[in-house]
Amino acid sequence: MPRIGVNLSDVQSYEAPAHGKYEAEIKAIVLKEAQEEGKFDQMMVTYTIIDDGPALGQTASEWLSFSPKAAFRMKKWFDKFGFGELDDLDFADDTDELVEPDLIGTRVVIRSYEEKDNRPGHKDEMRDRIELIEVLDEAEPAPKASKKEAVPVESDDDDDNDEEKPKARRVAREPAKAASGRERRSLR
């Protein structure tokens, strides 16, 4: 068995921000694949609090499911940015981060609160939740033409400083399948 050295003496445990409203920025939006058969992929939206005060710099995450039963929550979330009619979400292959629409750095107002936990096995328990309340920055909806495959444009520039954009993939809204050799879900 391998032995791994670790020093946890300076590690602070995660603590949700005190209940209330905060100005924050979107730090990351990452696709999290379903780990169980019949469950759906989710998006984890991580916010960094930028309000002056004791919560400054704290992070908090909101989870949005691709389940058809929870589609109204995801639509409501994207509606706040003016993207309620999206057909596709593009995620980078290498990082699973949302590429299109690009919302990283957008200033928002979030709310930290507590609600009853309805998950099986958590009867009468409460859990902390995070919810997007308002978008403070104006988001520009992607033009309709950008949803179609773009034709690459050849350039005569031999500039080696151009950064290559990450490849993107689209998420299919299908539940995960058992890991019995069958494909779990399709990504285009």
What confidence category does residue 4 fall into, taking pLDDT thresholds of 50, 70 and 90?
A: confident
pLDDT at 140 over 80: no
pLDDT at 180 over 50: no
pLDDT at 160 over 60: no
Mean pLDDT of 86-95: 88
Distance, in Å, from the CA atom of 173 to the CA atom of 66, rounded to the nearest integer, reads 6
Q: Of 12 and 77, which is predicted with more confidence?
A: 77
pLDDT of residue 148: 36
Distance, in Å, from the CA atom of 97 to the CA atom of 77, rounded to the nearest integer, reads 17
Distance, in Å, from the CA atom of 89 to the CA atom of 100, rounded to the nearest integer, reads 6
Mean pLDDT of the chain: 76
pLDDT at 184 over 50: no
- The token pair at 151 is 């034709």
pLDDT of residue 144: 41
pLDDT of residue 113: 87
pLDDT tens track for 52-77 = 889 999 999 999 999 999 889 999 99
Distance, in Å, from the CA atom of 85 to the CA atom of 55, rounded to the nearest integer, reads 34
Burial of 177 per CB tally in 10 Å (0-12, 13-18, 19+) = middle
Q: Which residues contact 44 (CB under 8 A, 6 or more apart)?
A: 28, 29, 30, 32, 61, 62, 63
What confidence category does residue 146 fall into, taking pLDDT thresholds of 50, 70 and 90?
A: very low
Distance, in Å, from the CA atom of 130 to the CA atom of 109, rounded to the nearest integer, reads 11
Q: Of 149 and 3, which is predicted with more confidence?
A: 3
Overall pTM surpassing 0.75 (yes/no): no
